[in-house]
Amino acid sequence: MKRAGYLGELEQMILLAILRLKDQAYGTSVLAELERRVQRTVSRGALFVTLDRLEEKGMLRSSLRDPTPRRGGRPKRYLEVTPAGVAALQRARTAWTSLWDGLDSVFE
C-alpha cells in the first residue's frame, strides 16, 4: 500500500524536470530535459500516464494553451508543480538523504 504523497523515482524526476523548465514545461520539453539531465529515455505513453497520475494526486496541474500552426492546430498541455508536489519532493529528498547518510565509505 502506498502512503499518501509518496513519489516514485520517475514521478520525482518528472516533477523536478517541470520545476527546472518553469513556464516552458510541456510533454516534449520534459522528455528532452530527462534525456539531457539523467540520460533517461521515457516513452511518451509512460510520461503522459505519469503526468495524469501526478495530477490526480494533486502534485501538478496542467493547462491547455493556444494551438500553434507548428503543432497542426493542437494545443500544448503546459505543466506546473503544485505546492503539494513541492512538499512531496521535499519529503522524498529528506528520506533519501537520511538513507544515504553514513554510507559514504561503502561507495568510496
Summarised one tens digit per residue, pLDDT across range 22-79 is 999 999 999 999 999 999 999 999 999 999 999 999 999 999 987 777 766 788 899 9
In a domain, 1, yes or no: no
Q: Report yes or no on 17 lying in a domain.
A: yes
Number of domains present in the structure of the chain? 1
Classify residue 108: in a domain, yes or no: no
Flag whether 46 is in a domain.
Answer: yes
The three cell numbers locating residue 75: 494545443
In a domain, 3, yes or no: no
Name the residue with higher pLDDT: 5 or 80.
80
pLDDT at 67: 73
Q: Which residues contact 75 (CB under 8 A, 6 or more apart)?
A: 64, 65, 66, 67
Asked if the model's pLDDT at residue 108 lies above 60, the reply is yes
Residue 45 resides in a domain: yes
Q: Has residue 1 got a pLDDT over 50?
A: no
Structural domain containing residue 89:
9-100
Domain membership of residue 106 (yes or no) is no
